[in-house]
Amino acid sequence: GDHPAAAPVLRSEADERAITAAAAMLREGGTVAFPTETVYGLGADARNTSAVEAVFAAKGRPSDNPLIVHIAQRADLDDLVTEVHPVGAALIDAFWPGPLTLVLPVRPGVLSPLVTAGLDTVGVRMPDHPLALALLSAAGCPVAAPSANRSGRPSPTLAAHVMEDLAGYIGGVLDGGAAGVGLESTVVQVQPDGTVAVLRPGGITAEQLAAVAGAGAVDTAPAAAVDFAAGAAGPSTALVDADAGTGSASGQPAGAAQAAGNSSPAPRAPGMKYTHYAPRGWLGVVRGVSPQRVAGTAADLLQAAQRNGEVTGLLLFEEHRALYPAVPAACVVSLGSLDSPEEGARSLYAALRRFDEAGATYILAEACPEAGLGAAIMNRLMKAAGGSVIDAG
Ligand code: TXA
Ligand code: MG
């Protein structure tokens, strides 16, 4: 069809009028993208079914994947949920505002049933971003906001990413510059026994959760979490990342066929053609016992792929750059130092989008240690790769 007109970009952090205009759009049932500390969200009044419908439509998101509800203050939580476990309350005290979403029993009749995808729970968080908090306060309503990307695409960490994916499909974008964390919130559900089930790793690390909930009280691989990349099949009520498809549009290049093992299972819903957070090209994660082994294998595969006519890309950590003397610098994107996973988290999604801009069709990414934020980085890389792992030995 016709290419839709661009949505207005509401500029300037200092501009009260931008926030007022965006809040008015939300109250009138429109959709507005806004910055949070994690990624940009696409907001709608969570009580308004047609507004929430517009969010699903703009994203191309399957309707069985629930949205996170954003609030401006702790007191707003009690309107939305019936109960908060003491451990959940402790996590809220420790990490709100911040990149932590709690899945809690929803209070019936307040939110549009589309927000919760018919579940009896709702994910809620208070973002740690001045623009987001100002917008939520001005709107005066709970705001449902998934990441403001087309479903399956890397999440947006800049207003420009939102426009790339959603211009013309949404009411506007509040521009707050680059998102500080760069990866989505950690989604947790506190079990009756006080165990914290991590349904999606994110900006709050397992180590941080354990510091509050107690060592041994954090379950980073609960049965309730659906992790397509790892091949786990969860129960039907577990909808974390349910819009993750598997497989690749371009398929695996012949050069990598022997080395790569694709551990991803069949897509749960037939016809889902996008891999979560994925660039358009094929992506594989390379791991091994040493950076030298990883680099040797990756460099060989990239050269083979290039000979096969692929446009290649390499995602590496700064320390390893010198291990790839024969790989053209043009296709290399760095996630910064291994010592600073914060930097890797912040730059990951923009890096994946850069490969799209370069037209990359065959991309390899170095694995990183899964301590701290490294767990969330690896989770997103594995999903982007649809589970394709190359073991360099
Ligand atoms: O950092 C973030 O969380 C960003 C910013 C915009 O706040 N939002 C975000 O939303 O990542 P979204 O919709 O892209 O991801 C929400 C995740 C999905 O994996 C969804 O399945 C899960 O949270 N989720 C939401 N409500 C849930 C519920 N009641 N039970 C289980 N999982 C839920
Ligand atoms: Mg998302």
The protein residue whose alpha carbon is closest to atom 32 in ligand 1 is 240
Interface pTM (ipTM) of the complex?
Answer: 0.99
Closest CA to 148 of 172, 125, 117, 130: 172
User: Within the chain, which residue ranges are assigned CATH 3.90.870.10?
Assistant: 1-242
Q: What is the distance in A from the centroid of ligand 1 to the CA of 359?
A: 29
Q: What is the distance in A from the centroid of ligand 2 to the CA of 155?
A: 6
CA distance 309 to 293: 25
Q: What is the distance in A from the centroid of ligand 1 to the CA of 380?
A: 14
Its pTM stands at 0.87
What's the token pair of residue 354? Answer: 């850069």
Please name which ligand lies nearest the alpha carbon of 240. 1
Could you tell me which residues come within 8 angstroms of residue 391 by beta carbon, excluding any fewer than 6 positions away? Answer: 259, 261, 287, 288
Could you tell me which residues come within 8 angstroms of residue 268 by beta carbon, excluding any fewer than 6 positions away? Answer: 228, 233, 242
What's the token pair of residue 296? Answer: 């040797």
Atom number in ligand 1 closest to CA 202:
1
Q: Which residues of 260-275 are buried (b: 16+ CB within 10 A; e: fewer)?
A: bebebeebbeeebebb
Q: What is the distance in A from the centroid of ligand 2 to the CA of 303?
A: 33
254-391 homologous superfamily: Threonylcarbamoyl-AMP synthase, C-terminal domain (3.40.50.11030)
143 lines ligand 1 (CB under 6 A): no
Please name which ligand lies nearest the alpha carbon of 39. 1
119 lines ligand 1 (CB under 6 A): yes
Q: What is the distance in A from the centroid of ligand 2 to the CA of 70?
A: 14
Q: What is the distance in A from the centroid of ligand 1 to the CA of 252?
A: 30
CA distance 336 to 342: 9
User: Within the chain, which residue ranges are assigned CATH 3.40.50.11030?
Assistant: 254-391
Which of 59, 68, 82, 96 to probe ligand 1 with, by most ligand atoms within 8 A of CB? 68
The protein residue whose alpha carbon is closest to atom 12 in ligand 1 is 146
**Residue pair 13/176 in contact by the 8 Å Cβ criterion:** yes
Please name which ligand lies nearest the alpha carbon of 235. 1
Q: What is the distance in A from the centroid of ligand 1 to the CA of 289?
A: 34
Residue 199 sits at φ, ψ, to 5 deg, of: -85, -25
Q: What is the distance in A from the centroid of ligand 2 to the CA of 223?
A: 21
Classify domain 1-242 at the CATH class level: alpha beta
240 lines ligand 1 (CB under 6 A): yes
Q: Encode the chain (393 residues) as per-residue pLDDT tens digits.
A: 344 445 555 555 457 889 999 999 999 999 999 999 999 999 999 999 999 999 999 999 999 899 999 999 999 999 999 999 999 999 999 999 999 999 999 999 999 999 999 999 999 999 999 999 999 999 999 999 999 999 989 999 999 999 999 999 999 999 999 999 999 999 999 999 999 999 999 999 999 999 999 999 999 988 766 433 233 333 322 333 433 333 333 334 433 333 333 333 332 222 233 457 888 999 999 999 999 999 999 999 999 999 999 999 999 999 999 999 999 888 899 999 999 999 999 999 999 999 999 999 999 999 999 999 999 999 999 999 998 999 999
379 lines ligand 1 (CB under 6 A): no
180 lines ligand 1 (CB under 6 A): no
146 lines ligand 1 (CB under 6 A): yes
